[in-house]
Amino acid sequence: MNIEVTLAGQAERLIVRNLMELYQHDFSELDGTDLDEHGQYGYPDLDCFWNHAGHAAYVIKVDGKWAGFALTNQEVCMPGSTHAIVEFFVVRKYRGLGVGQHAAQAIMRHCPARWEMHVIAENDAARRFWQRLVTLNWPDKHRMVLFDNEQWHGPVFAVDTVT
């Protein structure tokens, strides 16, 4: 299985927008989001991941087929953190096959930093995914803090991939 993770350019913007609909659909059972009047979930300010410094979008392909995306920025809530993976999605067909693990590692190695990953409290699968990822790859360089304030509700994983 050939897994590719690349920065999403302007040409992939529509791909990310379309994959975002699948992501939002999966997420709707956790957060109760409804479709809008056009039958879409939408994502406010998706364009900022192409237009603002410190923001980035990545696309994931498996054997040349679209398999997911990740969105990153520098909006963090833990002291010392510098970057955050704010959205991360792998289509169902490729889950449990190591695609997500490979993609997350590739992103964090592409941009060594002090990363955060925020997980909503109800998303047990994401909590297990990020816990496993940071424990296996950076056993002495990670931590998890449970937030319950106006900034965030749920676990936040932090990992230092700089050194």
Q: CA 67 → CA 16, 61, 91, 110, distances in Å? A: 10, 5, 5, 19
pLDDT of residue 139: 92
Q: What is the pLDDT of residues 119-161, one digit of tens each?
A: 998 999 999 999 999 999 999 999 999 998 888 889 999 999 9
Could you report the per-residue pLDDT of 35-74, keeping only the tens digit for each? 999 999 999 899 999 999 999 999 999 999 999 999 999 9
Residue 45, pLDDT score: 92
3-state secondary structure labels for all residues of the chain? CCEEEEECCHHHHHHHHHHHHHHHHHHHHHHCCCCCCCCCCCCCCCCHHHHCCCCEEEEEEECCEEEEEEEEECCCCCCCCCEEEEEEEECHHHCCCCHHHHHHHHHHHHCCCEEEEECCCCCHHHHHHHHHHHHHHCCCCEEEEEEECCCCEEEEEEEECCC
56 beta partners: 72
Q: What is the pTM of this model?
A: 0.95
Distance of alpha carbon 112 from alpha carbon 44, whole angstroms: 27
Name all domains of the chain by residue range, CATH numbers in brackets: 3-160 (3.40.630.30)
pLDDT value at 80 more than 90: yes
- Count of CB atoms within 10 A of residue 132's CB? 12
Q: Is residue 114 scored above 90 in pLDDT?
A: yes
pLDDT of 3-40, one tens digit each? Answer: 999 999 999 999 999 999 999 999 999 989 999 999 99
At residue 150, the pLDDT reads 85
